[in-house]
Amino acid sequence: MGSGAQSKLADASAADLAGAYGELPNEAKIKLQEAMQLLQGHPEILGDKGMPPCADAPCLACRSTASGEIVKLPVTKDSTYKDLAAALREKLPEAKTKVIQFFVSTDTSMDEYKTLGDQGFDDAGLANAEFSYTASELSGEKISQEEAQAPWLPFVSSWPPEIKDIKELTAFKNPPQCIRLAMEGVACLLEKPRKSWEDLTKMLYEEDFVGSMQSFLTKEVPLEALVELQWYLKHPDLQKDQLEKVSRCATILQSVVSTACTLTLIKKQQEAS
């Protein structure tokens, strides 16, 4: 950063910084938060203000119903359940293998697929709000292997996807929501980066991609990924009929993710019974 830019930043008020931060897209806010966390130990870079713009962003108080302890999570009105759960698991590593449920009031759970803004919160309201949350073991309705696999079976049997289908998928510059979600689920399963569309498409061309995906049809999905993937598997925009209309490749990929998770859940249920 040049000296002129540094001077302008140093002269900016907290309100100026907060205003600029609030206008950023949600993905940019997350990246800025990560960068600023790395800079916290370097006051010579941050300057005499000592705090990043995100310090003026809303910080939502979330209270554990089990312990009563409160954690503060960075949020905006554009945040969703996925954002809050990721932030909580980042603060509390022991929650990474737990199913998280947030409550916006004593008896009202947070809608997992709407933004906080869509649920009536603005940034100012979030800064003064207190949510509660539970962290429980993963469980699920008992289901037979045949019932679970039936909707996706034709696509699992088409594994791996053909090169032409992969190229058709990666040609998207601004993919439909259902395709992006399907690809994020694949990245979650494989523990790959998923912050950008470039991250998601790049993994399809990795040498071990096909073998890595196929291996999950015979081995268990790690619990941490299995818990996180439940949000994707139940997403209203990520159902087979909708996905099939826009991308055969994404449908095949989603079929493997869904089947792998189901097989792992069935095995865990059998072990517990």
The residue among 256, 253, 233 whose CA lies nearest residue 166 is 253
- Report yes or no: 71 and 91 within 8 Å, Cβ to Cβ: yes
Whether 44 and 62 share a structural domain: no
How far is it, in rounded angstroms, from Cα 19 to Cα 41? 24
pLDDT at 30: 58
Q: pLDDT tens-digit profile of 16-54? A: 445 555 566 666 655 566 555 554 444 433 433 344 444
- Verify that 22 and 88 share a domain, yes or no: no
Is 183 found in the same domain as 120?
no
Beta bridge pairs of residue 132: 63, 103
Q: Within this chain, do residues 78 and 119 fall inside the same structural domain, yes or no? A: yes
- Last residue of one domain, picked from the residues 136, 164, 187: 136
User: Integer distance in angstroms from the first to the last C-alpha of the chain?
Assistant: 60
Q: What is the mean pLDDT of residues 201-219?
A: 94
Cis peptide before 160 (omega within 30 of 0): yes
* pLDDT of 201 over the 80 cut: yes
Residue 21 has what pLDDT?
56
262 and 196 in a common domain? yes
Q: What pLDDT is recorded for position 20?
A: 56
Whole-prediction pTM:
0.75
pLDDT at residue number 195: 92
Cα–Cα distance list, 52 to 12, 37, 39, 118, 245 (Å) = 12, 9, 9, 27, 44
Query: 136, 168, 193 — which closes off a domain?
Result: 136
* Strand duo 59-64 + 130-136: pairing: parallel
Residue 133 bridge partners (DSSP): 64, 102
Assess whether 174 and 101 both reside in one domain. no
Q: Are residues 74 and 164 in the same domain?
A: no
| Lookup result for tokens 């249920």 | 269
Residue 139: per-residue pLDDT: 80
Q: pLDDT category, 176, cuts 50, 70, 90?
A: very high
Q: Choose between 6 and 107: higher pLDDT.
A: 107
Query: 53-95, pLDDT tens digit by residue?
Result: 445 567 999 999 999 999 999 999 999 999 999 999 999 999 9
Same domain, 159 and 121: no
91, 205: one domain = no
For the chain, how many structural domains are there in total? 3
**In contact, 204 and 210? CB cutoff 8 Å:** no
Average pLDDT over the chain, rounded to an integer: 83
Both 127 and 69 in one domain: the answer is yes
Strands (E), the chain: 59-64, 70-74, 99-105, 108-109, 130-136
**Percentage helix, strand, coil for the chain under 3-state DSSP, each rounded to 5:** 55, 10, 35
CA angle 79, 83, 85 (to 5 degrees): 130
3-state secondary structure of 194: coil
Boundary (domain end) residue, out of 110, 136, 162 = 136
155 and 268 share one domain: yes
Portion of the chain with pLDDT greater than 90, in percent: 61
Residue range(s) defining the domain that contains residue 106: 58-136
* Mean pLDDT to the nearest integer, 220-249: 93
CATH number at residue 77: 3.10.20.90
pLDDT of residue 271: 83
Regarding whether 25 and 68 lie in a shared domain, the answer is no
Per-residue buried b or exposed e for 192-225, using 16+ beta carbons within 10 Å of the residue's own CB: bebeebeebbebbeeeebeebbeebeeeebeeeb
